[in-house]
């Protein structure tokens, strides 16, 4: 069998390929070469990117086999997460891989602005020896305003504390107590702008934060303000910054990120009082190795059909080892449920009973939904788009947990209401040391049968000799019955039989059985392996 294709679309650490291992056909493409990218995506199961490759709707649609987009870094501005989710493609990133490197670069920019290191270096290399021109300032006892006290903002605060600076922060989502623990005082944005000698920005780019620093903000700042942005281009309005720097409204700026990258013919590069770096925040050996290894692991998990802790568009969470075996069982029960339903479903209860109900079992809900849709929609179904498919069909989905299970240690049930008012249910469990997957209930009938590939479910009126009648039909068609369970509520009443057969029923067999036993229900339910 051909190995799945993993496409590397940007330069990544060699550790990435090593961590992917030998199980993939690893190919490379320049992600900024659009036609080449679209062509290469056609066969890719996974694509690994940084910030330069645009994985928009068109690119995602070109990836007909695509199961995972892995961003070796933090920012996902270049990935259309909504389009990926709709297409059932998992998006993963490496959220902590480069935070130390980005924080250190921000501190480097702050020191560059305080001590003119880049300018002095350039001047000396031009044969000059200018000491008074490059007289700087200390960070000691200066007020440094940190905008965004998240992962990177926190690391910056911790590092700057060592300089004896007075740290203030603006972050509406951080509590004053948390900030206090870091030795940082929380203030309003206006207070931060008015009081700061340095400002360093560490927030995501959102409609709310785009242009957060513009002419009005620079008007409130000290003329000695030095501002650093190592987060995302556009949070500082570039035109307003040019104006503020060229008129000396503020003293200096350090930028690692730009509205357009690379920023072609930006007037900012003509200014003396600005230090520019080409989006280098994550460009260290350590960050690249961490990011590459992290996404390689995520790709392996994703292509193995596992949930991935760093997936951004899957609500699975960390899976407990005792919950894990329930995932494939639940997917199969989902397929059985759809086979039984045979009509539009309006509500689904996913019920988890027994010891595991006390753990985080959200993943079992995803597994059930994935199973339910696997054989009923034409698109490929994954943990990513299964909840969306339910939502699009107006199906009300509930996860019900109960730590008490009367008969089985753990019991997983999918119970659904159909739009015609009827109810369908199927329950399963895992038994013995081998953890055999069994169906133990169908539509209220108790059965106990190992799950197989092909099942026949029959409902008919209980009467003597009926097993011989349908047994004869299967025998004459050359179909081996591997397992059988008969369940009934009362002698002579309605009975339900489940058979497992070794190969699919040939054309005509089910009709023959139906008329031979006068079955009310006769269905073949096949399980598709994930
Ligand atoms: N230059 C680089 O190479 C590089 C590397 C890594 C990350 N980044 C960027 O750095 C930024 C910060 O990354 P992080 O990992 O610390 O993110 P994070 O999510 O951990 O922290 C962001 C913080 O910003 C706060 N925030 C959100 N909206 C805000 C607003 N309107 N005003 C003030 N605070 C607000 C949040 O509460 C949060 O605490 C992101 O934009 C990220 O893409 C850049
Ligand atoms: O979001 C990130 O991780 C950083 O901005 C780094 O981007 P890069 O991987 O393109 O350097």
Q: Are residues 65 and 143 in the same domain?
A: no
How far apart are the CA of 388 and the centre of ligand 2, in A? 29
First to last CA, the chain: 16
How far apart are the CA of 202 and the centre of ligand 1, in A? 4
> Catalytic site residue 455?
no
Domain boundary, last residue among 433, 450, 467: 450
Find out whether the beta carbon of 51 lies less than 6 Å from any atom of ligand 2.
Answer: yes
Phi-psi region of 395 (alpha: psi -120 to 50; beta: other; left: phi over 0): beta
Tens-place pLDDT, residues 403-456: 999 889 999 999 999 999 999 999 999 999 889 999 999 999 999 999 999 999
Answer yes or no: is pLDDT of 303 > 70. yes
Does a structural domain hold residue 268? yes
Answer yes or no: is pLDDT of 317 > 60. no
Q: Are residues 298 and 371 in the same domain?
A: no
Residue 350: partners with Cβ closer than 8 Å, 6 or more residues away: 330, 364, 365, 368, 369, 397, 398, 399, 400, 412, 413, 414
Q: Are residues 161 and 203 in the same domain?
A: yes
> What's the pLDDT score for residue 206?
87
> What's the pLDDT score for residue 305?
76
**Per-residue DSSP letters for 124-145?**
HHTT---SSTT-----TT-EEE
Q: Nearest 5°: phi and psi at 510?
A: -65, -40
**pLDDT band at 72, cuts 50/70/90?**
very high
Q: Are residues 321 and 295 in the same domain?
A: no
> What's the pLDDT score for residue 262?
93
**pLDDT band at 530, cuts 50/70/90?**
low
> What's the pLDDT score for residue 79?
96
Domain that holds residue 83: 5-95+286-304
- CATH number of the domain bearing residue 442: 3.30.1330.90
Tens-place pLDDT, residues 487-529: 988 777 899 999 999 999 999 999 999 999 999 999 999 998 7
**Which residue has the CA at smallest separation from atom 10 of ligand 2?**
51
> What's the pLDDT score for residue 344?
87
**pLDDT band at 324, cuts 50/70/90?**
confident
Enter the ipTM.
0.99
> Catalytic site residue 27?
no
How far apart are the CA of 501 and the centre of ligand 2, in A? 53
**Which residue has the CA at smallest separation from atom 40 of ligand 1?**
204
Q: Are residues 436 and 511 in the same domain?
A: no
Q: Are residues 209 and 270 in the same domain?
A: yes
Q: Are residues 387 and 507 in the same domain?
A: no
Check whether the bond before 471 is cis (ω within 30° of 0). no
Does a structural domain hold residue 281? no
Strand, coil or helix: what is 70? strand
Q: Are residues 105 and 90 in the same domain?
A: no
> What's the pLDDT score for residue 34?
98
Q: Are residues 135 and 272 in the same domain?
A: yes
Cβ burial of 341 (10 Å; 0-12, 13-18, 19+) is buried
Say what percent of the chain tops pLDDT 90: 84
d(CA 395, CA 512): 35
> What's the pLDDT score for residue 176?
84
User: Do 60 and 87 meet the contact criterion of CB atoms below 8 Å apart?
Assistant: yes
**For the chain, how many structural domains are there in total?**
4
- CATH number of the domain bearing residue 270: 3.40.50.720
Tens-place pLDDT, residues 248-270: 999 999 999 999 999 989 999 99
Q: Name the nearest CA neighbour of 198 among 135, 139, 280.
A: 139
**pLDDT band at 315, cuts 50/70/90?**
low
Does a structural domain hold residue 393? yes
Find out whether the beta carbon of 204 lies less than 6 Å from any atom of ligand 1.
Answer: yes
Q: Are residues 31 and 54 in the same domain?
A: yes
> What's the pLDDT score for residue 153?
97
Please provide the average confidence, as pLDDT, over all residues in the chain: 94
How far apart are the CA of 287 and the centre of ligand 2, in A? 10
> Catalytic site residue 10?
no
Q: Are residues 255 and 124 in the same domain?
A: yes
- CATH number of the domain bearing residue 464: 3.30.70.260
- Residue of 109, 226, 232, 353 with catalytic role: 232
Domain boundary, last residue among 416, 450, 484: 450
Domain boundary, last residue among 450, 473, 497: 450
pTM attached to this predicted model: 0.78
Tens-place pLDDT, residues 159-206: 999 999 999 999 988 888 889 999 999 999 999 999 999 999 999 888
Tens-place pLDDT, residues 344-390: 899 999 999 999 999 989 989 999 999 999 988 877 788 888 999 99
């Amino acid at each position: 069998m051909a190995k799945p294709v993993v496409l590397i679309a940007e330069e990544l650490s060699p550790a990435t390929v090593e961590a992917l291992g030998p199980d993939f056909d690893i190919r490379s493409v320049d992600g900024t070469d659009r036609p080449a990218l679209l062509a290469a995506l056609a066969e890719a199961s996974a694509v690994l990117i940084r910030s330069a490759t645009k994985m928009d709707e068109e690119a995602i649609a070109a990836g007909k086999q695509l199961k995972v987009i892995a961003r070796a870094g933090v920012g996902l501005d270049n990935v259309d997460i909504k389009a990926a989710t709709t297409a059932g493609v998992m998006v993963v990133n490496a959220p902590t891989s480069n935070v130390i490197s980005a924080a250190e670069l921000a501190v480097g920019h702050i020191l560059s602005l305080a001590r003119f290191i880049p300018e002095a270096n350039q001047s000396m290399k031009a044969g000059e020896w200018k000491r008074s021109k490059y007289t700087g300032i200390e960070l000691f006892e200066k007020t440094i305003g940190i905008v965004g006290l998240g992962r990177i903002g926190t690391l910056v605060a911790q590092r700057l504390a060592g300089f004896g600076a007075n740290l203030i922060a603006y972050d509406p989502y951080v509590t004053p107590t948390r900030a206090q623990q870091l030795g940082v005082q929380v203030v309003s944005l206006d207070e931060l702008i008015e009081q700061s000698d340095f400002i360093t920005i560490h927030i995501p780019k959102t409609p709310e934060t785009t242009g957060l620093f513009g002419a009005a903000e620079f008007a409130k700042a000290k003329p000695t303000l030095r501002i650093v942005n190592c987060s995302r281009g556009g949070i500082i309005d570039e035109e307003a910054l040019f104006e503020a720097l060229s008129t000396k409204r503020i003293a200096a700026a350090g930028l690692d990120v730009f509205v357009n990258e690379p920023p072609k013919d930006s007037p900012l590069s003509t200014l003396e009082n600005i230090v520019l770096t080409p989006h280098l925040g994550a460009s260290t050996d350590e960050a690249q190795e961490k990011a590459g290894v992290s996404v390689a692991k995520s790709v392996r998990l994703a292509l193995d059909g596992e949930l991935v802790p760093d997936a951004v568009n899957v609500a699975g969470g960390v899976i407990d080892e005792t919950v894990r075996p329930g995932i494939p069982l639940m997917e199969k029960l989902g397929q059985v449920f759809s086979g039984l339903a045979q009509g539009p479903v309006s509500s689904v209860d996913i019920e988890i009973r027994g010891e595991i109900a006390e753990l985080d079992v959200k993943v079992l809900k995803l597994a059930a939904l994935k199973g339910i849709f696997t054989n009923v929609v034409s698109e490929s179904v994954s943990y990513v788009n299964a909840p969306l498919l339910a939502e699009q069909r107006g199906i009300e989905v509930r996860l019900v947990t109960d730590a008490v299970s009367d008969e089985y240690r753990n019991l997983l049930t999918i119970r659904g209401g159909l739009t015609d008012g009827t109810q369908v249910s199927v329950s399963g469990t895992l038994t013995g040391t081998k953890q055999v997957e069994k169906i133990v209930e169908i539509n209220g009938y108790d059965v106990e049968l190992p799950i197989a590939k092909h099942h026949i479910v029959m409902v008919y009126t209980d009467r003597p000799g009926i097993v011989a009648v349908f047994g004869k039909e299967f025998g004459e068609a050359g179909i081996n019955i591997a397992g059988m369970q008969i369940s009934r509520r009362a002698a002579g009443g309605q009975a339900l039989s489940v058979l497992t057969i070794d190969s699919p029923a040939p054309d005509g067999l089910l009709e023959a059985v139906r008329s031979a036993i006068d079955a009310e229900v006769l269905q073949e339910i096949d399980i598709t392996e994930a």
